[in-house]
Copies of this chain bind each other. A is one copy, B any other.
Amino acid sequence: MKQFLSVSDVPDINALIAKAAAHKAAPFASSHLGQHKMVINLFFNSSLRTRMSTEKAARQLGADVITYDASGGWGIEFEDGTIMNANTAEHVREAAGVLSQYCDVLCVRSFPTLTDKEADYADRIMKAFVKYASVPVVSMESATRHPLQSLTDCLTISEHRRTARPKVVLTWAPHPRRLPQCVANSFAEWMQAWGEVDLTIANPEGFDLAPAFAPKSIVSHNQAEAFAGADFIYAKNWSAYDDYGATADLPDWIIDEQKMALTNDAFFMHCLPVRRNMVVSDAVIDSPNSLVLQQANNRTWAAQAVLGSML
């Protein structure tokens, strides 16, 4: 792979899942791949899981890692032709060009504004780094997608499915803040591209994801109906795509035991961090069917599979 920005960069999803599983079984078996290689992790937004799992993955491949937190503000200029006499101190042409001198793989995290839909969905920061970097770029979450999380989720589902073609429900859940659509977009995109699950997306009216990610045929506005017979419940809040960035106070959408009882003894999944008793009840997340820690663990192997494909 020359870049890892979305599922469309992956030639064979099952092969990549298998690679992740192989790293999980033998974390250091490929530690020659990163020998004398450098991975730079560039964060425009702070991170815990992504940072640690990506660093760990790189090191298990034998590579060195430099993590650079640019969340304090680096002042990068993205427009071409500007007279840079104001707040930006470096153009992305130089930023990406320079970082490419120092590493073999460049991992970048950025977030959406949630105020400018067009700019967010153009994925300006990530695209600019891809354009001007001379090394492979890995998205550690962009304004619209979070592909490392989705690969993780494929691995987790493949490890726990009890049928060849499980029913998977991606459900909106309540949250007090405005959150990006990235995790939900990517999860929807990967589940459909993977083709090994039946995906239903349950969300309130007004919270449909962008049509490119969520065709109307798989969207339900009735959470209880969607949960019926589900094998996996994947909970996540996201702000509205249509009324861009809007939120709603809908506590009834919480995932609790009553709703889980509607399912086929479904596993509960969430990418974390999660707000307890807001998104999901204690009883559900603390139940044996909760896979949230296994997902966090699988982030390492997903990252290792992606980095390993590039090094």
Interface segment, one of A96-104, A156-164, A240-248: A96-104
Q: A55-B66, A102-B56, A296-B97 are in contact. Are A82 and B277 (CB under 8 A)?
A: yes
The answer for the CA separation of A90 and B175 in the assembled complex, in Å, is 12
Q: Which residue of B lies closest to A28 (CB)?
A: B36
* Most chain B Cβ neighbours within 10 Å, of A27, A64, A84, A300: A84
Against B, the Cβ 8 Å flags (1 = close, 0 = not) of A110-143 are 0000000000000000000000000000000000
Q: Which residue of B lies closest to A102 (CB)?
A: B52
**Hey, which chain B residues are within 8 Å of A88, CB to CB?**
275
Q: A36-B28, A56-B102, A64-B59 are in contact. Are A273 and B48 (CB under 8 A)?
A: no
The answer for the CA separation of A68 and B97 in the assembled complex, in Å, is 25
Contact yes or no, A98 B293, CB < 8 A: yes
A40 within 8 A of B: yes
**Hey, which chain B residues are within 8 Å of A66, CB to CB?**
51-52, 55-56
Contact yes or no, A278 B85, CB < 8 A: yes
Against B, the Cβ 8 Å flags (1 = close, 0 = not) of A64-86 are 10101000101001001111111
Checking B36, B68, B74, B77 against A276 with a beta-carbon cut-off of 8 angstroms, the contacting residue is: B77
**Hey, which chain B residues are within 8 Å of A297, CB to CB?**
101
Residues of A bordering B, CB below 8 Å: 27-28, 36, 38, 40, 46, 48-49, 51-53, 55-56, 59-60, 64, 66, 68, 72, 74, 77, 80-86, 88-91, 93-95, 97-99, 101-102, 176, 272-278, 282, 286, 292-293, 296-297, 300
11 pairs, A vs B, C-beta closer than 8 Å: A52-B68, A83-B277, A84-B278, A86-B176, A89-B273, A90-B273, A94-B274, A95-B273, A97-B293, A97-B296, A101-B300
**15 additional contacts (CB under 8 A) given A56-B66, A81-B277, A85-B176:** A28-B36, A38-B56, A38-B59, A51-B66, A56-B102, A81-B282, A85-B278, A90-B272, A94-B274, A94-B296, A97-B293, A97-B296, A101-B293, A101-B297, A102-B300
